[in-house]
Amino acid sequence: MENNPNNSPNNNNKNPDGERPKGQMWPALIITLVLVLLFSWVYNGVVSSQYTQTTYSDFLTAMEADQLAEVEVQRERGRILYMTKEEAAKDPSVQKACYTGLPSGDHMELLDRLYAMDVTVNEEIVEDNSMIMMVIYYVLMFSVLFFFMRSLTKRMGGDGMMGGFGKSKAKVYMEKQTGVTFKDVAGQDEAKESLQEIIDFLHNPQKYTAIGAKLPKGALLVGSPGTGKTLLAKAVAGEAAVPFFSISGSDFVEMFVGMGASRVRDLFKEAAKVAPCIIFIDEIDAVGRSRDTRYGGNSEHEQTLNQLLNEIDGFEPTKGIVCLAATNRPEILDKALLRPGRFDRRIIVDRPNLQGRLDTLKVHTRKIKLSEDVDLRKIAQATAGAVGADLANLVNEAALRAVRQGRQMVNQEDLLVSFETVIAGTEKKNTVLTDMEKRLVAYHEVGHALVAALEKHSQPVSKITIVPHTSGALGYTMQMPEEEKFLSTAQELRTELRTLVGGRAAEQIVFGVQTTGASNDIQRATNLARAMVTQYGMSDTLGLMTTASVQSQYLDGQAYMDCSQTTAYEVDQEVKKILDSTYSETKQLLTDNRALLDEISEYLLVKETITGDELMAYVNADKQKLPAPDATTEE
């Protein structure tokens, strides 16, 4: 698509020759002039402070008393510099001369009297070009300062007054520069569908204005980090082929009062010149945080937010200015920002599902050379919960591994190893474990895997390893879901708890010890059990009551207790009860299958890494050894 120079924001401040208007040179010119005048004033003040001003009568009195030691007559400047014999006798570092005005007229008689008194007389010699040299000096100093201030103001953010402190820092992208369309965004079909209406409005505003409809002025993109909110905003500008103003919320926050509001005004002023266009404010929570006066207000923050609200209210929807904003903390935004008429449309940019992850992997591997054995669907199944940025990183790590291996194509192993690298880090080849530590790690990991293999409602095990990794894990058990699930039953969560404590149970059964290797397992099990009690209503004692609320849903999703101390104590007791019962069940399950636990652990000690298929071969073979059930029936 051709770029229209008349609509380009970058051309609004330039003349046909590509130069900026001379009117924008005034700030640097004014600053330079002030500096030159200030320098002259300071210089004259310093020079004048070296002399003591007297009257001409004082000079004549000193001359009559024969107290003059040295005299300098400056005819062009109209003054006389002189030093008395008393001052001349002092140390040169503390000597101070005097000066007085020189009357107009013939001064030869005065000079003759001074020569007759044996006074050292110096008469200033003025050349004809002295004034020219002075003018050249000041012009040269002015020019050097001007070009220095000119370059400084450009470097500090624009040609505005004071280096552009009040200018907007928005970066302007045209469609040709962004090069991003909806084809580059995968896994967000619902969000793209919601934004499609905005694109259609920018293309055909008459279709909406004819019926009297008004498009929402603002749309808020909400989602976890890495889900592609900024990419979606660029894709909207790319599809609509309109100017795209991109600025971060933190760019409005300044230490100078009023500068943030000034930048908001400048941003919308520039956008109005090139409408239709899109304004995108990333991380708007930095400037749109709720105005809370309980702990004292922030005048600069409130001024900036109020100016943003006024600017959104100030433009007409028919002008074609659309405001997009992104945040992962919608709960802290000011209510006035979210009311109808402002950012009244909320678009959720969620983590992609299985099909979304598959489409995202296809987008990120378009320029990657893949071998025939690559199955992106398996990678998508293994990366449940991953966002677009995670998948892009995974593909890039796989390409780097292929290069390190001296291959020109990425295979399936590269992708799987890269996925494991993202989870557990790279292998630590220099870490040497003792025989006892290796046995403990082997039984610990097999304890996890065996519980998962023997339970009905667990995710299949894909890999078991006892090779240390840089994440700190001495080994790990990887489970890969067979299908995408959005709901979990209480029975499935109990199975997950038994799988988590399976490592500690195996250590206790075989060695009778408790190691620090189970710390992360216990933490995850405790968090899951607490969520079952406080959020999911899966407690026999507390029933359906919710005792915790989730804050920062799109960040860490941590739950905070919202109940009395008595109820919190009951919650702790219920969590402990669930963990204790789960641990007892897990120990009993592994005790009943002790022979299988020993057999698989010995095999893992030899190979160090085994697959889920090898694990299930042992489990299925053990099931075939069981005696057939008695076919007789009671009469």
Q: How confident is the model at residue 274 (pLDDT cuts 50, 70, 90)?
A: confident
Question: Does residue 262 sit within a domain?
Answer: yes
Question: Which of 138-152, 190-204, 593-607 has the lowest average pLDDT?
Answer: 138-152
In the predicted model, is pLDDT for residue 560 greater than 70?
A: yes
What pLDDT does residue 19 have? 42
What is the torsional sign of CA 331, 343, 250, 177? positive
CATH number of 111's domain: 3.30.720.210
Q: Which residues, in sequence order, are CB contacts of 316 under 8 Å at separation 6+? A: none
Whole-number Å distance between alpha carbons of 553 and 549: 10
**558 and 526, same structural domain?**
yes
Question: Does residue 36 sit within a domain?
Answer: no
State mean pLDDT over 119-130. Answer: 60
In the predicted model, is pLDDT for residue 176 greater than 60?
A: no
**333 and 261, same structural domain?**
yes
In the predicted model, is pLDDT for residue 205 greater than 90?
A: no
**186 and 269, same structural domain?**
yes
Would strands 244-248 and 277-282 be described as parallel, antiparallel, or unpaired? parallel
**361 and 334, same structural domain?**
no
Quote the tokens at residue 204.
């055909």
What pLDDT does residue 56 have? 83
Q: Contact, 182 vs 310, CB < 8 A?
A: no
- Using the 8-state DSSP alphabet, how is residue 389 labeled? H
Whole-number Å distance between alpha carbons of 616 and 455: 12
What pLDDT does residue 524 have? 94
Q: How far is CA 511 from CA 39, 465, 491, 514, in A?
A: 85, 20, 30, 9
Count of domains in the chain? Answer: 4
Question: Does residue 110 sit within a domain?
Answer: yes
Q: How far is CA 105 from CA 78, 113, 119, 187, in A?
A: 11, 16, 22, 95
What pLDDT does residue 402 have? 93
Q: How confident is the model at residue 483 (pLDDT cuts 50, 70, 90)?
A: confident
Classify 479 as helix, strand or coil. strand
**332 and 368, same structural domain?**
no
Whole-number Å distance between alpha carbons of 282 and 232: 12
End-to-end Cα spacing for the chain = 86
CATH number of 441's domain: 1.20.58.760
For the chain, give the mean pLDDT.
80
Question: Does residue 631 sit within a domain?
Answer: no
In the predicted model, is pLDDT for residue 442 greater than 90?
A: yes
Q: How far is CA 16 from the centre of its chain?
A: 38
Question: Which of 43-57, 93-107, 163-177, 292-306 has the lowest average pLDDT?
Answer: 163-177
Question: Does residue 301 sit within a domain?
Answer: yes
What pLDDT does residue 3 have? 42
Closest by CA position to 539, among listed 502, 500, 505, 567: 567
Whole-number Å distance between alpha carbons of 289 and 213: 30
**267 and 190, same structural domain?**
yes
Residue ranges making up the domain that contains 375: 354-423
Question: Does residue 38 sit within a domain?
Answer: no
Domain boundary pick from 299, 329, 348? 348
What pLDDT does residue 407 have? 92
Catalytic sites, residue numbers: 445
Q: Read off the pLDDT of residues 342-364 as tens digits, 9 standing for 90 and up.
A: 887 889 998 888 889 999 999 99
State mean pLDDT over 465-477. Answer: 81
Q: Read off the pLDDT of residues 285-318 as tens digits, 9 standing for 90 and up.
A: 888 888 765 545 566 778 888 888 888 887 766 6
Question: Which of 41-45, 452-456, 628-632 has the lowest average pLDDT?
Answer: 628-632
**568 and 468, same structural domain?**
yes
Identify which of 134-143, 382-391, 392-401 has the greatest average pLDDT: 392-401
**199 and 120, same structural domain?**
no
Q: Contact, 226 vs 360, CB < 8 A?
A: no
Counting residues of the chain whose pLDDT is more than 70, the rounded percentage is 80
**452 and 312, same structural domain?**
no
Question: Which of 115-119, 257-261, 454-458 has the lowest average pLDDT?
Answer: 257-261
Question: Does residue 358 sit within a domain?
Answer: yes
In the predicted model, is pLDDT for residue 168 greater than 80?
A: no
What pLDDT does residue 169 have? 53
Q: How far is CA 621 from CA 120, 480, 627, in A?
A: 122, 22, 13
Q: Contact, 256 vs 165, CB < 8 A?
A: yes
Q: Contact, 276 vs 235, CB < 8 A?
A: no
Note the residue count of the chain: 635
Domain boundary pick from 348, 375, 399? 348
State mean pLDDT over 161-177. Answer: 50
**285 and 253, same structural domain?**
yes
In the predicted model, is pLDDT for residue 199 greater than 80?
A: yes
**315 and 189, same structural domain?**
yes
State mean pLDDT over 157-169. Answer: 47
Identify which of 66-75, 322-331, 449-458, 571-580 has the greatest average pLDDT: 571-580
Question: Does residue 13 sit within a domain?
Answer: no
**274 and 183, same structural domain?**
yes
Q: How far is CA 517 from CA 331, 507, 581, in A?
A: 37, 10, 21
543 vs 625: which has the higher pLDDT = 543
In the predicted model, is pLDDT for residue 244 greater than 50?
A: yes
Domain boundary pick from 331, 348, 365? 348
State mean pLDDT over 393-418. Answer: 92
Q: Read off the pLDDT of residues 500-539 as tens digits, 9 standing for 90 and up.
A: 999 999 999 999 999 998 999 999 999 999 999 999 999 8
Q: Read off the pLDDT of residues 31-82 as tens digits, 9 standing for 90 and up.
A: 777 777 777 777 666 666 667 778 888 888 888 888 888 888 877 667 788 8
Q: How confident is the model at residue 170 (pLDDT cuts 50, 70, 90)?
A: low
CATH number of 412's domain: 1.10.8.60
